[in-house]
Amino acid sequence: MYGLADCNNFYASCERVFDPSLAERPIVVLSNNDGCVIARSNEAKELGIAMGVPYFRIRELVRRNDVAVFSSNFVLYGDMSRRVMNLLRRFAPAEVYSIDEAFLDFTGFDEETLRQQGLEIVRTVRRHTGIPLSLGIAPTKTLAKIASKLCKRYPKLGGCCFMHRPEQIEKVLRKFPIGDVWGIGHRWAALLETRNIRTAWDFTQLPQEWIRKRMGVVGLRMQRELKGEPCIGFEQMPADKKQIATTRTFARDTGDYEELHRCIAQYAAACAEKLRAQHGLCAEIAVFLLTNRHREEVPQSYESRLLKLSVPTDSTLELTAYAAQLLRQLCRKGFVYKRAGVILSDIRPKCGVQRDLFDAADRARHDRLMAAMDRLNAVYGRHKVATAAEGFEPFKMNRNHLSRKFTTDWAQIIRVKST
């Protein structure tokens, strides 16, 4: 048996933990630079606030309905996520799937008491962190995902849905929209719609030959998972990333090359740090620039450039230089840009990579320098040691609705006043 623990409206729930007055009040959380909505409470969803909508478009709606607005506080959310995941590991092996989701391995647990154990997990997480949890338990990961969605739809379940009997699973699948099944994207949902496949149960009845031809091995695996046959393994250690990206929306539109260069250098440095953390090397780097599509009066552009590296690297010095080279090719006069990013791909393990006989760089020296930089930044804080291209101060984002770092900064913890 597998479990899928999903924190309900996680970002909004984190804000509510430290301000009980927000209970039942609509909440939205904004992206970097307070650009667009990236999280909503149920009350905000009921007001019709869509995911990804620019904040300036809903200002009046927010004002009329007393919606609480927060800038994204990823330091707080990351720490609260760590606390939830550590609690889950007390009960069963956990595979962290995202900041607010984790799969649990209930192999060997007594099925007669599994629902009660699930309810205890939900109660424990709520009691220790204040975060509401939806826990779905089923024979496969895909079915566990569906079961966790049922928890949110039916509050009477108490936060835990144990879906294991064949007749129980069939009843659910006959009503569950195929587009909401884990792994079925918009493209496949549209394809299945042409075959009049509207529910998960309809999908399980399709011939395997048809699925193999149009959806490949991934589609067959999804069908078997829906039929109760586990096909997606359990990984306690997160797999290394195949692609690493750092992208940001600017606080204001800019066409200044020096400012763009500093941004791109910082993004490349952030990517390099993540790459070294997983002991990898990259052989491709890409840079993109995006104008503001909401400003129709200015020229529009979305361009990117990709560079294949002759020698894979994890050096901030090299990756920053490569990113700057691509930026020079992209940046055009007369354009003002709203968003930019650096993407590393073709990532492979650092150990066992064959070196180039004609590589002129002193790799051992680069490794020592990067290791020293990472150690200093880990001890004294990010950006304490940086390349000159990154500048002396990180760019400050527009975060006019930022809550405090309640759990990670002694100066910002909650103060209790006695009366």
Domains in the chain with CATH codes: 2-162 (3.30.70.270), 166-227 (1.10.150.20), 244-386 (3.30.1490.100)
Residue 238 has pLDDT above 70, yes or no: no
Dihedral sign for Cα 90, 94, 96, 99, please.
negative
- Spell out the residues 6+ positions from residue 285 whose beta carbon is closer than 8 angstroms to its own: 268, 306, 307, 309, 319, 322, 323, 326, 342, 343, 344, 345
pLDDT of amino acid 387: 87
Mean pLDDT value of segment 211-231: 92
Contact partners, residue 365, CB within 8 Å, separation at least 6: none
| Per-residue pLDDT reduced to its tens digit, 165-208 | 999 999 999 999 999 999 898 889 999 998 899 999 999 999 99
**3 state SS of 161:** strand
pLDDT at 29 over 90: yes
Alpha-carbon separation of residue 204 from 64, 82, 405 (angstroms) = 46, 36, 47
* pLDDT at residue 241, as a whole number: 84
Q: Does the pLDDT value for residue 118 go beyond 90?
A: yes
Alpha-carbon gap, residue 16 to 13, rounded angstroms: 5
| Residue at 71: amino acid letter | S
Q: How sure is the predictor about 384, in pLDDT bands with cuts at 50, 70 and 90?
A: confident
- Sorting pLDDT into bands at 50, 70 and 90, what band is 354? low
149-168 mean pLDDT? 92
**Cβ count near 77 (within 10 Å):** 20
Structure tokens at 382: 């990010």
Question: What span, in angstroms and rounded, lies between the C-alpha atoms of 86 and 149?
Answer: 22
Q: What is the mean pLDDT of residues 223-235?
A: 89
Share of the chain above pLDDT 90, in %: 69
pLDDT tens-digit profile of 254-292?
A: 889 999 999 999 999 999 999 999 999 999 999 999 998
Per DSSP (E only), the strands in 243-388 are 244-254, 280-291, 302-313, 337-349
Higher-scoring residue by pLDDT: 323, 400: 323
- 417 pLDDT band, cuts 50/70/90, is confident
